[in-house]
Amino acid sequence: MAVSSSLPVIRERRTGPEQADLDKCVHCGLCLNACPTYRELGLEMDSPRGRIYQMNQVANGDAITPEYIRHLDLCLACRGCESACPSGVPYGRLIEAARAELKAREKPGWRARQTQRIIFDQLLPSRTGLQLAGAALYAYQASGLQRLLRASGLLTVFGKLGDLEALAPNAEVPFFYSRIGKTFLAMGERRYRVAFLAGCIANIAFARLNDATVHVLRRNGCEVVIPGAQTCCGALHLHTGLREKAKGLARRNVEACAGEFDAVITNAAGCGSTLKEYDELLEGDREYSEQALRFKAKVKDVTEFLAGIELNRSMGPVEVVATYQDSCHLAHGQKIRTAPRKLLKAIPGLIFREMPLADVCCGSAGIYNILQNEMAMQILQHKMANINGTKAALIVTANPGCILQLAAGARLFGTGQRVAHVVQVLDEAYRNYETNFGRA
Ligand code: SF4
Ligand code: SF4
């Protein structure tokens, strides 16, 4: 089936927040303490209730002011408020629609248009573009230039750019691209056939995480297909208000995973949230709306999938004290909290210690830590204080973006803790078993 970006659409949601969604807020304030920006600033206008109030004002004719834009920009879209809200306010939908409205009215200058075109049109959806960027990053890191610059303190001269360097991912060669389009057989009896969506940036910066995911799935009786036609999920496009571009990517992924699969697996909570909302994104799309519903029914976070099947318990010990940071898009977006904890507690030798406020955002939030670096670092510093209190040597989470943010936190405000995804710890346990007893 041909993919077209100009498909006929029967019904299209208006760009701004729906009045019915705004009206669900009864102004009770029960969400305030779940909001990282309100916790940091103590300002009503930087709380969920305050932001909903401002969206309401705009929906009812008030002008869009720079203050309104600033309060919305400062929101992490972490959806912590959605979990705390007893009235079922769909805050994630509200902020996405409010940002799409701002984007539609924006008249960006030439430079902003070019930057946006390069990142969202050419880089994220393009394997070649990401591979080139990954190669440049790898050269910077492997040549020792990064180590030299960090040790010399020269990065402070670059101001904001220097701050951002601390958040750069490590390029992991070989990149994961060589596995795309391939099928990996189950180890032992085949119980499931799954499609794995490997992400976009993850293919260069999280190749080892993707390899670990494939290995853990295979050790649990999965034949793992990595569809060749997959592309970026569109989450970053949606967070930036580029809804139409996200729809094009959604159509490509729905087609790529149209085969006979028991599940479509992702190891990135942020991507998973978006993939599970493709039905909303493609609602009214004559050609893709039904396919999107079928696709959504199969999407599973890797922790959700593994916790829902009979887990292969042939694991060797991983002797470490570990704590778990909820990824917002897993805990608040997908309501998955127990699955990752259940998996960690199944690993022999691992001592699990819960941290306070584990489900408050770490400040990563897609590219928030790049765009709102100062607030992201403030939030991270408080997060690390809670983590340091557990004395855990390993911080586990379920989203690549959170791994980068927490690794920066461990380096800047922590005790040099190791940071890993849940499946990487499981992978370690399976490999420890294999080293001692061979495969089982
Ligand atoms: S999404 Fe997160 S940052 Fe934004 S208002 Fe809700 S809790 Fe606060
Ligand atoms: S979003 Fe929910 S919790 Fe927050 S003020 Fe409105 S109704 Fe209350």
Q: Which CATH number characterizes residue 57's domain?
A: 1.10.1060.10
Do 152 and 265 share a domain, yes or no?
A: no
Ligand 2, atom nearest to 32 Cα? 4
Residue 30 lies in a domain: yes
φ/ψ of 117, rounded to 5, equals -65, -45
Alpha carbon nearest to ligand 1 atom 4, residue = 75
Alpha carbons 175 and 194: distance in angstroms, whole number = 21
Do 215 and 245 share a domain, yes or no?
A: yes
Contacts of 255 (CB under 8 A, 6+ apart): 1, 3, 229, 291
Do 252 and 327 share a domain, yes or no?
A: no
Residue 343 lies in a domain: yes
Last-in-domain residue among 245, 273, 307: 307
Question: Ligand 2 centre from 268 Cα, in Å?
Answer: 28
Residue 189 lies in a domain: yes
Q: How far is Cα of residue 105 from the mean position of the Cα atoms in its chain?
A: 27
Q: How far is Cα of residue 43 from the mean position of the Cα atoms in its chain?
A: 27
Alpha carbons 156 and 217: distance in angstroms, whole number = 43
Do 294 and 334 share a domain, yes or no?
A: no
Q: Into how many domains does the chain fold?
A: 4
pLDDT at 378: 97
Cis geometry, peptide bond prior to residue 174 (ω within 30 degrees of 0): yes
Q: Which residues line ligand 2 (CB under 6 A)?
A: 25-31, 48-49, 52, 81, 84-85, 87, 89
Alpha carbons 252 and 7: distance in angstroms, whole number = 13
Do 148 and 237 share a domain, yes or no?
A: no
Do 153 and 198 share a domain, yes or no?
A: no
- Which of 22, 75, 238, 368 for mutating ligand 1's site (highest number of atoms within 8 Å of CB)? 75
Strands (DSSP E) contained in 76-209 are 183-184, 192-196
Assign 188 to helix, strand or coil: coil
Do 335 and 429 share a domain, yes or no?
A: yes
Beta bridge partners of 324: 396
pLDDT at 51: 98
305: closest CA among 399, 221, 201, 424?
Answer: 221
Residue 342 lies in a domain: yes
Alpha carbons 100 and 411: distance in angstroms, whole number = 35
Residue 13 lies in a domain: no
Alpha carbons 271 and 294: distance in angstroms, whole number = 17
pLDDT at 120: 78
Alpha carbons 342 and 402: distance in angstroms, whole number = 20
Domain CATH for 355: 3.40.50
Distances (CA, A) of 367 to 371, 402, 422: 6, 11, 22
pLDDT at 317: 97
Last-in-domain residue among 165, 184, 202: 165
Residue 11 lies in a domain: no
Ligand 2, atom nearest to 84 Cα? 3
Do 341 and 297 share a domain, yes or no?
A: no
Amino acid making up residue 202? A
Length of the chain: 440
Instruction: Identify the burial level of 126 via C-beta atoms within 10 angstroms of its C-beta, where 0-12 means exposed, 13-18 middle and 19 or more buried.
Output: middle
Ligand 2, atom nearest to 27 Cα? 5
155: closest CA among 413, 417, 412, 376?
Answer: 412
pLDDT at 133: 79
Classify 417 in phi/psi space as left (phi over 0), alpha (psi -120 to 50) or beta.
Answer: beta
Amino acid making up residue 147? R
Last-in-domain residue among 118, 135, 165: 165
Alpha carbon nearest to ligand 2 atom 4, residue = 31
Alpha carbons 66 and 413: distance in angstroms, whole number = 33
Q: What is the pTM of this model?
A: 0.87
Do 157 and 226 share a domain, yes or no?
A: no
Do 198 and 289 share a domain, yes or no?
A: yes
Residue 6 lies in a domain: no
Alpha carbons 225 and 237: distance in angstroms, whole number = 26
Do 301 and 209 share a domain, yes or no?
A: yes
pLDDT at 298: 97
74: closest CA among 373, 403, 333?
Answer: 373
Low-confidence ranges of the chain (pLDDT < 70): 1-14, 154-164, 166-167, 173, 439-440
Token pair of 148 as six digits: 């030299």
Q: Please report how the helices 422-437 and 207-219 are oriented relative to each other, as an axis angle in degrees rounded to 10.
A: 60
Domain hosting residue 133, numbered range: 110-165
Residue 295 lies in a domain: yes
Do 187 and 298 share a domain, yes or no?
A: yes
